[in-house]
Chain A
Amino acid sequence: MRIKSALAVAAVAALTAACGGGGGGETSSPNEPVKIDFLSLAWQKESVAANKQLVEEWNKANPNIQVTYVQGSWDNVNDQLVTQFAGGTAPDVIHNDSPALAGFATDGYLLDLSDKLPAELKNDIPQAAWDTVTFDGGKGEQGVYGVPFLQESQVIIANKKLLEAAEVRVPTADAPWTWDEFSAAAKKMTKGDTYGVAWPMKSPVNKTLNLALNFGGTFFQTAGGKTTVKVGPEEREVLQRIHDQLYKDKSADPAALGQGTADPLPAFYKGKFALLPAGVYLRQQVAEQAPDGFEWVTLPGPKGTTTQQGAVSQTLSIAQESEHPDEAMKFISFFLNGPNQAKLAKGDWLLPTSQKAAADPAMTSEENGWDVATASAKDLVVAPFLKVNGFDEWKSKVATPVLQEYFANKITIDEVAKRLVEDGNKVLERYQR
């Protein structure tokens, strides 16, 4: 009896110890290689391959710093990181995007890289890109909380046949369409069953906010340390123009409204609409999936008072609690050097921040619209919402439903403005207590 129960106690104790002690406590002797976990969010086939290949290259060249590739997913990375940070099991090197960094930086989970960055890496990436990862670290000081490496700009992917048939001026990187020209062209291309343009607006917020900068629409203002939402004439421009295409000109395909960015592609190949405003990365799917004989071109994004667009970067960061921050930094500077960034950019069909990578001939060839895409990088400025603490909650609780209802023509632009501001400020207040 006694022995058995004692055994049971021992078993339970061992079990709980095993469960509880899973996290830290890795003591490595000086000869053993340092181990670094790298959480990657690459998902396109080419991009995953490029990521894994670079990790392999590094591991071969650096037997003392071994990197483990950990596959993550954009769908739930932030939920995953919140739990991992709280539990102290976060990976050392973290792939994410700049909007998410603001929150993690303020919460103190990410390492300030400002004095760790090697000069070569620092100089290769322009200041505008560094601005997208510079945040308040929670105690009022500004820090760099990630290395920006891939950026997305908005372009218009067009059906070449329909574009030529409409006999409109074909925009170039130096002379893009104005929004008026864009709407007029869309109207001209609308004939019978064919629409001029399609706006997939399942997740409307980032897209419209980035484009709103065409007219200087920032949506947020900071005064006296307090950030509030603002929807003035500048902010309304792009919203109104898209709405007009949908309901006044009737040049936009209503079927695309509820769809995600890539969902309208089958209809695009069938010629149901001519223009698809989208992020540069969507070119990859068009290039790979379009039926034979389907001709398409990449057009630059439209111009309002400026051609500026909000920039969001993909980033690599180091966890505050990483045991080997210096080794992690070494890995990042290898991973994101010019030639490697070009590989990653090609794999993801996005724009590299590295100036060396952007000069790569493959990045400026006319094939698959790389020239137009790379040229659009000069229009990228820091999206103002990046710096707003609580943006994520504003986006999912307020802005997404409001914009969805607006583009479904259920509410007026005045109601949009009212709800974005009033409900929005309530949300932001929680973060500024």
Chain B
Amino acid sequence: MTATVTRPAPPRRPRAKRRHVSRQTREMWLLMLPALVPVLLFSVGPLLYGIGLAFTDARNTRVHETSFVGLENFTDLLADGDFWASFRIGAIWAVSVTALQFLAALGLAVLLNQNLRFRGVARVLAVVPWAMPPVVIGLMWKLVYHPDAGILNDLLGTDVNWLADFSLALPAIIVVGVWTGMPQTTVVLLAGLQNVPKELYEAGEMDGAGRWRRFWNITLPQLRPVIVAITSLDFVWNINQFGLVYVLTQGGPGGQTRLPMLFAYEEAFRYRFAGYASMLGLAMAIVVLAVLGLYLWRQMRENR
């Protein structure tokens, strides 16, 4: 950025100055390089490569010659019933997990913001699930849902195979999704709550506002920017969820929990249609951007 601004200067100045500027620019680039190289190498590069692949018939094979097919993958995608089924499941998953996560986390955050005994301990405990990798969480919940030895069947006295039942599998993994994502949402909301000026509550109380009224008219509007930020982050995180569901159900039974990312994974690594899978990834990225764009734009507009 600085380079383009300062560049018009040299022609009028003697050589020494030009050297100085170019040296400054060079140093800036050198300093940025350590940060830039990994970004280019590991993010931008693969991204562009993936976008490129989406318009070819690439397959993960040794004998296949890849050729450019234009939008064929895209038209195939639109006509693919399995994709739409997976997309629908992904939408149900992402929306319900994000919404439930938010509600539960808000409740927890308000609770942890009160002057409770052992508040410190409770706050630490609330963050514990955050410290676990998704695969460990998946394995743990698999044991909870285990049809014979699972603690859930034990508690309820039922004999249900939660993760293999056609209608129960999706709700079952949504519960896990909510549990997994709660800590970071809670922490962010708690930070937001602590930033709400005490005076507002005092003033509200003076005017005779009840608890509920104060929450609705002071806390929520004050929290609004935090809520917008965390729910949109959660949404992106959830729709791209992979590890957790892969461990829990691998997309089964009969594709009832096959989130879009699992679908793309299967296409690429099981059936080896790399081009098609890239188009799937690209389509999902566009959907996420569109949904987020719309949401953020509306929130911003209302804020004004």
Contacts and interface: CB of A to CB of B under 8 A. Distances in A.
Interface of A: 1-2, 5-6, 8-9, 11-12, 16, 78-79, 82-83, 85-86, 103, 106-109, 138-139, 202, 255, 258-259, 263, 266, 320, 390, 392-393, 396-397, 400-401, 404-405, 430
4 tightest CB-CB pairs across the interface, nearest first?
A: A107-B61, A401-B254, A108-B62, A5-B30
Contacts of B147: 259, 263
Contacts of B31: 5
A12 B35 CA distance: 9
Interface in B137-172: 147-148, 159, 161, 164-165
A138 B165 CA distance: 39
B233 interface: no
A405 B273 CA distance: 28
A266 B82 contact: no
Given A1-B27, A12-B38, A79-B269, 8 more contacts: A82-B60, A85-B60, A86-B60, A106-B63, A108-B63, A139-B63, A392-B271, A393-B270
Contacts of B63: 106-108, 138-139
B37 interface: yes
B237 to A, nearest CB: 23
A107 B254 contact: no
B61 A108 contact: yes
B132 interface: no
A8 B62 contact: no
A266 B272 contact: no
B62 A16 contact: no
Contact of A79 (B59, B82, B270): B270
A266 B159 CA distance: 14
A79 B270 CA distance: 6
Contacts of A6: 30
B13 interface: no
Contacts of B243: none
Contact of B269 (A8, A83, A109, A393): A83
Contacts of B273: 430
Nearest to A403: B254
22 contacts: A2-B27, A2-B30, A8-B30, A8-B33, A9-B34, A12-B33, A12-B34, A12-B37, A82-B270, A82-B272, A83-B269, A85-B62, A107-B62, A108-B61, A109-B61, A263-B147, A393-B270, A401-B254, A401-B255, A404-B254, A405-B254, A430-B271
A1 B28 CA distance: 11
Judged by DSSP, the binding face of B is loop
A38 to B, nearest CB: 21
Contacts of A16: 37, 41
A304 B191 CA distance: 70
B12 interface: no
B253 interface: yes
A320 B62 contact: yes
B255 to A, nearest CB: 6
Contacts of B33: 5, 8-9, 12
B301 interface: no
A109 B148 CA distance: 41
A138 B62 CA distance: 10
A108 B64 CA distance: 9
Contact of B254 (A86, A266, A392, A400): A400
A401 B258 CA distance: 13
Contacts of B60: 82, 85-86, 107
Contacts of B34: 8-9, 11-12
A2 B41 CA distance: 23
A401 B166 CA distance: 10
A32 to B, nearest CB: 29
Contacts of A139: 63
A418 to B, nearest CB: 15
Contacts of A390: 271
Interface string B15-43: 00000000000010011011001100100
A404 B253 CA distance: 9
A325 B137 CA distance: 42
A320 B61 CA distance: 12
B21 to A, nearest CB: 16
Given A9-B34, A11-B34, A258-B161, A107 B64 contact: yes
Given A9-B33, A16-B37, A202-B164, A109 B271 contact: no
A259 B147 CA distance: 9
Contacts of B270: 78-79, 82, 392-393, 396
A11 B82 CA distance: 46
B148 A266 contact: yes
